[in-house]
Structure 1
């Protein structure tokens, strides 16, 4: 599905526009656990002892902001495992407006919606505690949102993208097995590609010829320093895309985006879906076998 979203131009000062439809230590990648794929409503009812362990959710005021493509509200906690490359194997899809909290039983800060810019939202599940579920927060870097039980269902996530900044390498994993690696261009000094875990939010058609006629993945991540990017790119997200030539692979020339070859991007577009986890690290302890 295409997203009506803006992503960084990746090296030129051109603005990608609202194209589309209407609307610190890395560890080796491991194989996934088998996801349940159960809807929250289908999970067996807990016994009395288990029910008491679920922390209650404070009522959420109706005037809380909704999490959309703009920067997420402040106050959400840091992702403590942001550089962990262990594959996240479950995605969460809201079935209605969900209050997002800063901790299990904590403060409601915003609403997580079933869709962003007309595309169904799938966010990777990062951890669980006291009956609550933590997901990677859209439109923010290295942040989690905590959700109480109910109002969502989970889906399996089989794929993962690992980006290494030092060797300029992207590796696609499926079920913990490395399939392919590509040489990259990454963010220039002052506009470095953000470290940490994020995910594919959606895809958008190429708005300009410099993208080689290949669709772009919009990620949940945003520039670490929004004021460092050119004025025309303010409010855009980090993207994965190709370019009209491959002469800058292995260099830091983009505005923070992840740029790979046209053939690599086309393959990923065929294989990957919204919600696919992406983790950016400096370098893996051991190069993947596809390096």
Structure 2
């Protein structure tokens, strides 16, 4: 039991993300009501918007399994500049490899019955690029319409070399914690990702605290134990803190129970997470 278990899909481990409860109005992580958001209409400046090619009905849907190949690399994968807007699909959306490019898959309003919010990374020619779920360091481009935007106040920055996780709000460091990260050969993936959803702990080794599933997956899908294939990287606690500051997990980010409880209270789905080797200067909270 010395290594962390990756957050896996129900088809692999029997775990499941906590479903979004129907159409109940959503409140913020601290209890405040989120500001109403409206569906984003197509741009009025039609001449500047590249047209979207029709998407075949047979394209795959992006779900908890690894995303289809062909999506472009995130050119700013290690940029720690906060992403302050998220995107929630209000219907099935075709996801493209570039503005005006090829449709590769469908982005759905939910993944595993959890409402999907993805951080907005770029905008170009009337199109919007978001961090791709169930993939590492990839973007998906969406044409105008069929989604609404939400504000993202928080950010998590993970530093692999000092084994440190820092929570930022509105660009200001709030708290830092020492963490455990992926062991050799199963290193915690670098780059930008986001909080996909949360799940109850399936075993007592997780300390009785809910787990965050991230949008990222192991860089080497065959490196993790067979029982964890199809898993996502997670943020979770452990039944003891004796391995903090070490490479002992299967790629997950493990912190203290008190730290995890605070993050569960403060962060909403879609919160950006970026993993780097080390920041140029340590946070004031370190």
Output the aligned Cα RMSD: 1.7
2:5 is matched with which residue? Answer: 9
Q: CA deviation at 1:164?
A: 0.1
Q: How many residues align?
A: 264
Equivalents in 1 of 2:73, 2:184: separation in Å? 24
SS at match of 2:150: strand
Aligned pair partner of 1:138 in 120, 130, 133: 133
1:256 is matched with which residue? Answer: 251
Equivalents in 2 of 1:290, 1:22: separation in Å? 34
Tell me if the contact between 1:78 and 1:144 (Cα under 8 Å) persists in the aligned partners.
Answer: yes
2:119 is matched with which residue? Answer: 124
Tell me if the contact between 2:18 and 2:198 (Cα under 8 Å) persists in the aligned partners.
Answer: no
2:282 is matched with which residue? Answer: 287
Aligned pair partner of 2:222 in 218, 223, 227: 227
Equivalents in 1 of 2:279, 2:163: separation in Å? 11
Q: CA deviation at 1:18?
A: 1.7
Runs of 4+ in 1 over 2 A off after TM superposition: 19-23, 35-39
Q: Is residue 2:36 matched to residue 1:40?
A: no
Equivalents in 2 of 1:73, 1:133: separation in Å? 19
Aligned pair partner of 1:100 in 90, 95, 103: 95
- Using structure 2 for the length normalisation, give the TM-score: 0.89
Equivalents in 1 of 2:212, 2:124: separation in Å? 31
1:178 is matched with which residue? Answer: 173
Q: CA deviation at 1:51?
A: 1.5
Aligned pair partner of 2:148 in 147, 150, 153: 153
Equivalents in 1 of 2:55, 2:46: separation in Å? 21
Tell me if the contact between 1:16 and 1:208 (Cα under 8 Å) persists in the aligned partners.
Answer: no
Equivalents in 1 of 2:92, 2:122: separation in Å? 21
Tell me if the contact between 2:17 and 2:197 (Cα under 8 Å) persists in the aligned partners.
Answer: no
Equivalents in 1 of 2:241, 2:78: separation in Å? 28
Q: CA deviation at 1:17?
A: 3.2
Aligned pair partner of 1:69 in 64, 67, 85: 64
Equivalents in 1 of 2:155, 2:18: separation in Å? 26
2:186 is matched with which residue? Answer: 191
Q: CA 1:169/1:21 → structure 2, altered by over 3 Å: closer, same or farther?
A: closer
2:235 is matched with which residue? Answer: 240
Equivalents in 1 of 2:69, 2:168: separation in Å? 32
Unaligned runs of 5+ in 1: 1-7, 24-34
Equivalents in 2 of 1:142, 1:158: separation in Å? 21
Tell me if the contact between 2:209 and 2:260 (Cα under 8 Å) persists in the aligned partners.
Answer: yes
Unaligned runs of 5+ in 2: 7-11, 21-34
Q: CA deviation at 1:53?
A: 1.1
2:79 is matched with which residue? Answer: 84
Tell me if the contact between 1:38 and 1:155 (Cα under 8 Å) persists in the aligned partners.
Answer: no
Equivalents in 2 of 1:21, 1:213: separation in Å? 15
Q: CA deviation at 1:178?
A: 0.3
Equivalents in 1 of 2:217, 2:186: separation in Å? 11
